Chains A and B, each alone.
Chain A
Amino acid sequence: MANPLRDPRDRRIPRVAEPSVLVMFGVTGDLARKKLLPAIYDLANRGLLPPGFSLVGFARRNWVDQDFARLTYEAVREYARTAFREGVWQQVCDGVRFVSGEFSDDAAFDRLAEVVAGLDVERGTGGNRAFYLSIPPGQFPVVVRQLERSGLSGGKDEPGWRRVVIEKPFGHDLTSARDLNDLLASVFAPQSVFRIDHYLGKETVQNLLALRFANTLFEPIWNRRYVDHVQITMAEDIGIGGRAGDYDGIGAARDVIQNHLLQLLALTAMEEPVSFAFDALRAEKQKALSAVQIPDDPLTGTARGQYAAGWQGGIPVPGFLAEDGIAADSGTETYAAIRLGVDTRRWAGVPFFLRTGKRLATRMTEIAVIFQRAPHLPFNATDAKELGQNALVIRVQPDEGITMRFGSKVPGSAMEVRDVNMDFAYGESFTESSPEAYERLLLDVLVGDPPLFPGHEEVELSWKILDPIEEFWAANGRPEPYLAGTAGPACADAMMARDGRAWRRL
């Protein structure tokens, strides 16, 4: 029965999640404390969680409900984006439960199933369950099996929906990605699996889609006829911090390029989807990814580096090999750059350069579309000496926005042309009130709105691009050291120079 109070024209009434239970594994981790739990409160505060929404934590600690409620309370007080209101907290707190146990403990999962079933009755959650696996990927199989065994993942005839959320990395190569997918697919329907990459906020994706497909200004020049090359960068100024365990042996390419940068590439390079529906958007991204060509010679078409001790913003920082938990001879790269091609009529011959690194000079993520030089300049060579290539830069972070770079006459009696920037920021301070990425992600999961999450086909295509490069790297040499706080290793600059191009300055 259609809800008589809902009307698509009534834009004031927001999408509210259905009554449901969110079961979180790994609640004591940083991500849960700093992002997920505050995001749940913020959603409730904005009126986007229904009465009856319940949160169940599962962890090894010997806790009762109140302990988990206290952890949640502290996380909310410290990290929530919106103002604290006692009433909202009370509403969230009423639905908080905790189940203590090991992942291997059948009895613990049976207790969990009982608690969740109890909530269905007590709070009217109607069998709707989302499982958030905020745990190391190695533990996915045992948890997924337990969900199946205990009946939590439900049968087809049971009422309500079941959804599962996993965070990147989605495997560490094609084989492991397939194993993970087979595992999930054996228990959950494909559209119930939500793959979250916290680097890639939905807001960014939608901004990019709006820029490309809501305007007429950019589309005509968005092709090989005008574009010289594309640079997609994610630079971080931090080191690996406490992530040694899951970074060593993984490296920058698997960590960032595999999903984040290749998703940005797909969104930049893809054709217009026929609609923004789940399938249509994924189909276009898949097409773009399947057209990606890796360099013929990985030696000249890729670069990798490892940060060495140096100064980062006035502070001396240790090198990667000196970080806690990293082997002194680790060959893991902390910087990776790749030159890719996209073999379509639109992009043939236009290189896409992807780079990412830790401990670089600054923190920024951007997509820079660099245009060809004008075929002829009716000025003296000296007049336009300082004129570079036009560029359209989509700044993802910090300071999300768009920069256009073009030549302009310098005021004065001489005819002199120089590059200028035209900037658009998503409102100077939209940030203050714009929802945090995790709020959107969680709401999408609870509402069941998946179109911007990558599907497993995209994940597999990304690994197909990356695997041969990783194999080449593993068999050939070591990453080149670069000083912390700089723009990366010299070999990355050399890779661009061979192409007659240069990286945008960080």
Chain B
Amino acid sequence: MKVELIDTTASTVRNELMRMCQQMGGLTTGVVLNLVIMTDEADQYDAMRAATHAGREHPCQVVGVIARTGRRPRRLDAEVTVGENMPGQMLLLRMQGEMNEHVDSVLTPLLVPDTPVVIWWPGRAPKAPAADPVGVLGQRRITDVAADEAPRQRLLELAAGYRPGDTDLAWARTTNWRSLLAATLDRPYAGIIEAAVAAEADNPSADLMAAWLTGRLGVPVHQEVSDGPGVTEVSFMTGDGKIVINRADGRNATLSRPGEPDRFVALHRRDVAELLSEELRRLDPDDVYGETLAELAKAAAAAPVAGTDEE
């Protein structure tokens, strides 16, 4: 069921939502979290779709917020959707005029009470998400630096403004790689001397992975530029040769270890819905991400030409 409300107020939206839920048989009960998406008209469709998808694993109330720019009178339009394609409920709010300065005042009454709030910026995000008026409403704040023109610069800004509960989809994009790397080192190996990460230029996930490896292994980690897509290779130089995971096509990788035949591993790039599902699986702070950002900032401070590659 879908209802559009034009030039409305938060309390009307709330009443309408309650009325619709009652009509559909009380669907609020299954909602385990509020997912607020701070987006714009261009990204709205993809973001809401990804959220719907993630909502199948994590029943949630999705609230999309579009702040319409330009000089316009103050106005709130809302689309309320209940029980279509997903278990929870969905609100899409369009705000304009000075209301844009007070988004939090519209959001607060519409969130399901006593239920975790996650804020997601699929595109542009505030420099310090936790200091943002909307960001403070969330216990988890998800950004995506890959959407930015200067992702490395953005990561450093995020590092400066980091608060527990921040996280970024560029970090989630490294999970499968990191998991495979960890599994690789579950087996005996000779000591690691150095490591290397190759990726297409300006890939924030590669920056994060290199920083993570630096912090974890305590050895020099080189970054190399490749043709992509995404991260294409990670290698460890060990005492008895090189362990290499190479993924040239964005789907399948080859694992080579000294003295063993090459092995084939599936390592596909995941879409935003899958990344978002992963983010929503845990709502406590991701300390490892925080440490990785700090590591990145440390490296940038040591080599002040931020945004360029070391090689």
Binding site for B on A (CB under 8 A): 1, 3-7, 9-14, 16, 18-19, 44-45, 47, 50-52, 85, 87-88, 90-91, 94, 122-124, 126, 423-425, 427-430, 432-433
Contacts of B282 in A (CB 8 A): 11-12
- Binary contact readout B169-184 vs A (1 if CB under 8 angstroms, 0 otherwise): 0001001101111111
User: In the complex, which residue of chain A has the Cβ closest to the Cβ of B30?
Assistant: A428
Interchain CB contact under 8 A, B30 and A88: no
B265 at the interface (CB under 8 A from A): yes
Shortest C-beta distance, A292 to chain B (Å), equals 36
A-B contact pairs, 25 of them (CB 8 A): A1-B188, A4-B218, A5-B216, A7-B216, A7-B288, A10-B178, A12-B172, A12-B178, A12-B282, A12-B288, A14-B179, A47-B266, A50-B186, A51-B183, A51-B264, A90-B264, A91-B252, A91-B266, A126-B187, A424-B29, A427-B30, A427-B87, A428-B59, A429-B59, A433-B57
- Interchain residue pairs A-B with the least CB separation, the first 6: A428-B87, A87-B266, A88-B266, A87-B252, A5-B182, A433-B57
B268 at the interface (CB under 8 A from A): yes
Interchain CB contact under 8 A, B183 and A427: no
Interchain CB contact under 8 A, A12 and B268: no
- Please count how many residues in chain B sit with their CB below 8 Å of the partner chain's CB atoms: 45
Interchain CB contact under 8 A, B172 and A16: no
Contacts of A7 in B (CB 8 A): 216, 288
What's the Cα separation between A484 and B278 when bound, in Å?
46
B260 at the interface (CB under 8 A from A): yes
Shortest C-beta distance, B106 to chain A (Å), equals 27
Q: Contacts A10-B288, A122-B261 given; indicate if A5 touches B181 (C-beta within 8 A).
A: yes
Interchain CB contact under 8 A, A5 and B264: no
Interchain CB contact under 8 A, A91 and B265: yes
Interchain CB contact under 8 A, B277 and A433: yes
Q: Contacts A91-B266, A427-B59 given; indicate if A4 touches B185 (C-beta within 8 A).
A: yes
Shortest C-beta distance, A331 to chain B (Å), equals 47
What's the Cα separation between A47 and B179 when bound, in Å?
8
User: In the complex, which residue of chain A has the Cβ closest to the Cβ of B26?
Assistant: A423
User: In the complex, which residue of chain A has the Cβ closest to the Cβ of B265?
Assistant: A51
What's the Cα separation between A122 and B263 when bound, in Å?
10
Binding site for A on B (CB under 8 A): 27, 29-30, 32, 56-59, 87, 172, 175-176, 178-188, 213, 216-218, 251-252, 255, 257, 260-261, 263-268, 277-278, 282, 286-288
Shortest C-beta distance, B295 to chain A (Å), equals 13
Interchain CB contact under 8 A, A16 and B182: yes
With A9-B288, A51-B264, A427-B59 known, 5 other A-B pairs at CB within 8 A are A44-B266, A51-B265, A85-B251, A124-B263, A428-B30
What's the Cα separation between A126 and B257 when bound, in Å?
14
Interchain CB contact under 8 A, A50 and B266: no
Interchain CB contact under 8 A, A13 and B30: no
What's the Cα separation between A85 and B257 when bound, in Å?
25
Q: Contacts A4-B216, A126-B187 given; indicate if A13 touches B175 (C-beta within 8 A).
A: yes
User: In the complex, which residue of chain B has the Cβ closest to the Cβ of A121?
Assistant: B260
Shortest C-beta distance, B7 to chain A (Å), equals 33
Interchain CB contact under 8 A, A427 and B178: no
Shortest C-beta distance, A47 to chain B (Å), equals 5
Contacts of B178 in A (CB 8 A): 5, 10, 12-13
User: In the complex, which residue of chain A has the Cβ closest to the Cβ of B58?
Assistant: A427
Interchain CB contact under 8 A, A45 and B266: yes
Interchain CB contact under 8 A, B59 and A124: no
Shortest C-beta distance, B18 to chain A (Å), equals 17
Q: Contacts A9-B287, A10-B288, A122-B261 given; indicate if A16 touches B266 (C-beta within 8 A).
A: no
